Amino acid sequence: MQGEIVRVCLSEQRGPKFPVEEACLVQGMGFRGDVHAGSTHRQVSLLSEERVGAFSRGTGSPEPGAFGENLRVRGIDMSLLGVGTLLEIGDRALCEVKQIGKGCVIPCEIGRSLGHCLMPEEGVFCVALQSGAVRAGMKIAVRREVSRSVPQAVCLTVSDRRSRGENADETGPLLKKVLEDAGWHVSGIYLAPDRQEAIVSFLEEWSEPGRTDVIFTAGGTGFSQRDVTPEATRSVLDREAPGLAEAMRFLGSQRTHRAWLSRGVAGIRGRTLIVNLPGSPKGARESLECVLAPLVHGVAVLRDSISNCAT
């Protein structure tokens, strides 16, 4: 799939951006001189020129950068692209899609001036993987396509020792392999210490709209005073999904009675499901495999792809 850069826009302040002849994309940073450059996951923002045209039909097309986008792109149906897609710009620059749409302060400045903002639903947000000059007229091509229909996940291992590098994390990589073998896309595997504030921060960041479908945590679900993953999870949930935790405990109890001591929980924040798994590689894998099939259906419901859980 290949398209064309219609406009490149930058701004040193939040709000609308303004067209420039050429911009420098810097690896790990974004566009030099742009307010969104930095270490976040929204370094570069894109909008479809076709979608902007459909939005503005009959009212006159908004100026390039009016929605706060860095790039207007023609010829690529970005409604099909999921997190993990790689986009090559010209011969050198490379970006990876990290978020589809975003939460927005309502009404935002752009929404007030234009009547509606496309970025919360249509915006595609990337990080810069390779540096390069970017200008209008350049080709932009999909180098690795991840369909938006593919379930998305991220894994967090909670452990003081593993987060300090004293012990190797075997659980995160194992969960990633199980999920990818089942057809999921895993955006990353991460580590956090057994501190409630660190876990909460991770869950809040990754449950932003458009970032991922399911956050799997591993560890911190036992009786130790340092085991605070369930408390951190409950503090961010909108709704609990107790059946998932009950199913994992029941399965584990067929192998060891200690499975009943797990305090892991599961629930929903916004449109993101959060599931606590045991910390050991064996326990985490068995628990994940226990709930993987119903999770696919649950993700579809949360995405509004289907509406009836009994179907």
Residue located via tokens 């919360």: 120
- Backbone angles phi and psi of 148, in degrees to 5: -65, -20
Residue 122, pLDDT score: 80
Task: Give the Cα-Cα-Cα angle 260, 194, 224 (nearest 5 degrees).
Answer: 40
* Both structure tokens of 80: 């099909």
Distances (CA, A) of 153 to 66, 92, 101, 214: 32, 29, 17, 5
Domain residue limits, the chain? 2-144, 152-302
Alpha-carbon distance of 43 to 195, in angstroms, equals 28
* CATH tag, 152-302: 3.40.980.10
Q: Which amino acid is at 109?
A: E
Q: Across the chain, what does the average pLDDT equal?
A: 89
Q: For position 116, what pLDDT does the model report?
A: 59
Hey, CA dihedral for 189, 220, 278, 238, is it positive or negative? negative
For 219: left if phi > 0, alpha if psi spans -120 to 50, otherwise beta; the answer is left
Question: Which tokens hold the place of 218?
Answer: 């591993």
User: Where would I find the beta strands (DSSP E) of the chain?
Assistant: 2-10, 18-19, 22-26, 30-31, 44-48, 71-74, 86-89, 93-100, 124-130, 132-135, 139-144, 152-158, 185-192, 214-218, 239-240, 266-269, 272-277
For 20-33, b/e burial (b = at least 16 CB within 10 A) is beebbbbeebbbee
Structure tokens given for 308? 């009836």
Task: Name the token pair of 113.
Answer: 């001036």
CATH class of 2-144: mainly beta
* Beta-ladder partners of 276: 217
Decide: 288 and 157 in contact? Cβ < 8 Å.
no
pLDDT of residue 115: 57
Low-confidence residues of the chain: pLDDT under 70: 55-61, 103-117, 307-311
Closest CA to 6 of 50, 56, 43, 60: 50
- CA distances (Å), origin 102, targets 53, 68, 92, 98, 123: 21, 13, 28, 11, 7
pLDDT at residue 13 in the model: 87
Cα–Cα distance between 47 and 55 in angstroms, integer? 12
Contacts of 194 (CB under 8 A, 6+ apart): 158, 159, 160, 219, 220, 226, 227, 228, 229
Per-residue pLDDT at 103: 67
**Residue 134 has which token pair?**
């970017």
Residue 88: strand pairing partners = 94, 141
